[in-house]
Amino acid sequence: GIAKILAALPRPVVGVRVLPFHNLSAGKYEAVAAPYPVKDCPTPGPEEILAAEETLKAAGLTVLAK
């Protein structure tokens, strides 16, 4: 996953901030009559965000505060 990719970069990653997905851009797609490619992607809950942060930490990455 992304944690493995970030941990393997040649330059060290100083820190990672996990931000939840949101659909605020959906209106822009509607304005230009374009299909919104992630319309069915749910917004993650606190438990899912915490799990992502723990995965990053387990890969040796520093998780920054929100």
Other C-beta atoms closer than 10 Å to the C-beta of 48 total 14
- In the prediction, which pLDDT does 21 show? 82
- In the prediction, which pLDDT does 49 show? 92
- In the prediction, which pLDDT does 47 show? 94
Residue 66 has pLDDT above 80, yes or no: no
- In the prediction, which pLDDT does 23 show? 83
Sign of the torsion formed by the C-alpha atoms of 7, 9, 12 and 16: negative
Angle 13-41-43 (CA atoms, 0-180°, nearest 5)?
70
47/18 Cα distance (integer angstroms) = 12
User: Each residue of 29-62: pLDDT tens digit?
Assistant: 999 999 999 888 888 899 999 999 999 999 888 9
Cβ-proximal residues to 29 (8 Å cutoff; 6+ apart), any chain: 35, 36
Residue 13 has pLDDT above 80, yes or no: yes
53/16 Cα distance (integer angstroms) = 9
